[in-house]
Structure 1
Amino acid sequence: MSKKNGPEPFFRPKKNRWYVEVGGKHVNLGPDEAQARVRWHQIMAGTPASSLIPGQLPDGVLVCRVIDLFVGWSHKHRPGRTAEWYQKHLQSFLDSLPDAATLTVDQLRRLHVTNWIDAHGNWGANHRRGAITAVQRAFTWAEREGHIAKSPVRGIEKPPAKRREQVLTIEEFQSLLARIKDPCFRDVLEFCWETGCRVQEIRLIEGRHLRFDRGRVEFPPEEAKGKKRWRFIYLTPRAEEIVRALVARHKVGVIFRNTDGKPWDAQNFNNRFCRLQHRFGREELKRRGFVLDPARVAEFAETLHPKKKVAGKTFPKAPNELLREARKKLTIKAAKKLGTKYALTTIRHSFATRLLEAGVDHITVAALMGHVDATMLSRVYSHVGEKTDFLRVELLRASGACAAGQVGAA
């Protein structure tokens, strides 16, 4: 383009930036050529150069565009599971927007997020808190990177995080195992109980990580949480027995697999614990002599879909079919309320408490669990402080030892 038609952007390789000369001064247009040309056209159209932020997307950028950029960045710079977590929540948020295809950042309001959260009344406090955090993180990242001038979703009130209070005794854990017939899932639970490993770690263990001569599993820094230091999972005799059998069966790839021979994922674990919750609930219903109210069953049956599909054809459901379906669904709902829902993190918490009650010091337990120091252990995992009977016994034991020492000195 000739000079009389206006200056054109030019690129400086050493600074990795596009510039344009305006009034004898070089204006920074940012590192991206496409965005640089958009800002150049804005300047040519009369927008003051001082109002343009290098790297910032043009006015009217779509919310979905910002989220796409953030998700793409997450997949490049964050662990896969973290990126998937962001993507899942952000896609759910976009799906909740009636005008997601045209909504711009300057039109986005905090109420869009709160309406999305309120529409999911079955989400717990921690789930709601995480969902809000995911949306805020995307726009905070966009602001920090210079894609937008300011995040429009700051200051949303989030529910306080709730600590998982479950801790299993040895007897309770044995009772849990007794209800599990699947040997693959039993291996997972027992290994977690014996070692206190993280959920994501058990999904990643391969034969190459096993060092039986050192009695441990070894993850190099690039595969460990935080990606800064080695992670060692020390093996008890039972834990070693489990992984020896598994590595003999799966010589290539991860060794903990489900009954289909596929690696476990978070949803697999959640489904198994949901089934256990239902089983616990049904046992409790039976113990209580639970009987469904026929009037409630009939009322609920009227709300069910009246038709069914068989071999691609649609047929009306018979009255007894609707009643049977209603009884089944109401029983499941009642069982879910009474059944206890566990998770692998419950077993990890129990590991920490069990060792602390056995007299192992905080620093050692923290090291066994893969923490840098004992801060996280004291704040999140240790439930010893909640057991007043245990603390009193420890006090009396310590007092007796001190008294004996004083008598001996006298």
Structure 2
Amino acid sequence: MTRFAKPWYRKGRGWYLEIDGKQVKLADDRDQAFDRYHKLMAGQSPTGTPVSSVIDSFLDWCMHNRAERTFDWHKERCDSFWQHLKSLGLSVLTVEELRPFHLDAWLRTHPGWSPGMQRGALVSIQRAFNWAIKQGLIVTSPIEGLEKPPQGRRENVIAPATYQVILEHVKGQAFRDLLITAWEIGCRPQEIVRVEARHFNQGRWVFPKEESKGKKRIRVVHLTPTAEEITKRRAQQFPDGPIFRNRAGRPWHPWAINCRFCRLQKKIGKKFALVDFRHSFVTRLLKEGVDPITIGALCGHADLSMIARVYAHVHQDAEHLRKALMKGA
């Protein structure tokens, strides 16, 4: 009979057992874990691959093979799903037992999630199972072909007058610096929350290839005088680590930024996001007649078709089109 090593506990992760050189999660609960272990020792077939094992293995792989922000993105969603299963007493749910309705029930516990957030959550879980198939951990995915909400498109363009109203209601210097810089240079949200003093170089942020989106080329973010002044001041204040931090001195986290925008919504009546400042930057430049090639370079777009695809709403602005018409009259 095959002999197995004894189960061991991995702090915060549950009970594991090594089988044929692979670490397999048995369960979070000790009694359930040893029950599965004794069945294996007795030569009985295991009830199936635990969902928890797939998720843990996927996150371990992401930690070592993907960018930190990608790992964090998946971890937040996978942990949320796993906590939902545990709350229903389904900590030993197997891949064979998992059904789409389990994910639907999970989404219904988050009524505040937009269709885009729901789609992202489902994509993350689905990706974990697709990865497990490629790795040979499972044969098929029980959620292949899972129906997801449409992607949707944010067209929350911030007009200059609205921007001034936003600033009037933001009193804290830390959040003001974040918003003003985002408005001035149109960088990606992940760039502004991760920029450090070492990236600042002669009026620019320079991210090396391994730290840029896609990790294929150096990303240069050009600064306006206002953005440069803020960068210099914050780099002196925080010479190590991210320079944009909240009033407590902690680096901004996406959830914390979202929380600030939710509080701002109560004052101005509309919800915005940091990415809206990037979209508004591009929209302003297009309306001012800046060519798409230059805008694409400023924003770090590798494919200029992104400008035409995402910012097509500019061509639906009647006032803008009327002004363009009068220029040629």
SS in 2 for 1:71: helix
Which residue of 2 is the match for residue 200 of structure 1?
Answer: 190
Gaps (5+ residues) in structure 1?
7-30, 36-41, 48-57, 281-338, 401-410
Write out aligned runs for 1:275-314 (5 A): 275-280=263-268
Match of 2:209 among 221, 227, 237: 221
The yes-or-no answer on 1:130 pairing with 2:120 is yes
Instruction: Give the aligned residue type for 2:75.
Output: Q
Q: Distance in 1 between matches of 2:110 and 2:144?
A: 21
Q: Deviations over 1:341-373 (max 9, x none)?
A: 111111111000000001011121111111102
TM-fit CA distance, 1:34: 4.6
Instruction: Give the aligned residue type for 2:143.
Output: V
SS in 2 for 1:203: helix
Alignment CA distance shift 1:224-1:135 (3 Å): same
Q: Distance in 1 between matches of 2:21 and 2:236?
A: 54
Which residue of 1 is the match for residue 29 of structure 2?
Answer: none
Which residue of 1 is the match for residue 105 of structure 2?
Answer: 115
TM-fit CA distance, 1:249: 2.1
TM-fit CA distance, 1:118: 2.8
The yes-or-no answer on 1:93 pairing with 2:81 is yes
SS in 1 for 2:213: coil
The yes-or-no answer on 1:247 pairing with 2:235 is yes
Match of 2:273 among 337, 343, 351: 343
TM-score, length of structure 1 as denominator length: 0.67
Which residue of 1 is the match for residue 318 of structure 2?
Answer: 388
Which residue of 2 is the match for residue 364 of structure 1?
Answer: 294
User: Is the CA contact 1:94–1:100 (under 8 Å) kept in the aligned structure 2?
Assistant: no
SS in 1 for 2:220: strand
Write out aligned runs for 1:7-406 (5 A): 33-34=21-22, 60-97=48-85, 98-212=88-202, 215-280=203-268, 339-381=269-311, 383-398=313-328, 400=329
Q: Distance in 2 between matches of 1:144 and 1:345?
A: 34
TM-fit CA distance, 1:187: 0.9
Instruction: Give the aligned residue type for 1:277.
Output: Q
Percent of pairs identical after alignment?
45
Alignment CA distance shift 1:120-1:185 (3 Å): closer
Q: Deviations over 1:137-179 (max 9, x none)?
A: 1101101111100111011111111111211111211121111
Q: Distance in 1 between matches of 2:109 and 2:321?
A: 44
Deviation beyond 6 Å, 4+ runs, structure 1: none
SS in 2 for 1:106: coil
SS in 2 for 1:158: coil
Q: Deviations over 1:250-277 (max 9, x none)?
A: 2222221211122111122112111111
Alignment CA distance shift 1:363-1:59 (3 Å): farther
Q: Distance in 2 between matches of 1:367 and 1:382?
A: 18
TM-score, length of structure 2 as denominator length: 0.83
TM-fit CA distance, 1:221: 0.6
TM-fit CA distance, 1:86: 1.3
User: Is the CA contact 1:349–1:382 (under 8 Å) kept in the aligned structure 2?
Assistant: no
TM-fit CA distance, 1:378: 2.1
TM-fit CA distance, 1:381: 4.1
Q: Distance in 2 between matches of 1:177 and 1:158?
A: 36
Instruction: Give the aligned residue type for 1:113.
Output: L
Q: Distance in 2 between matches of 1:265 and 1:126?
A: 19
User: Is the CA contact 1:70–1:142 (under 8 Å) kept in the aligned structure 2?
Assistant: yes
**Aligned-CA RMSD value:** 2.5
Q: Distance in 1 between matches of 2:295 and 2:246?
A: 29
SS in 2 for 1:211: coil
Q: Distance in 2 between matches of 1:236 and 1:119?
A: 44
Q: Deviations over 1:23-54 (max 9, x none)?
A: xxxxxxxx96358xxxxxx9xx9x9xxxxxxx
User: Is the CA contact 1:352–1:382 (under 8 Å) kept in the aligned structure 2?
Assistant: no
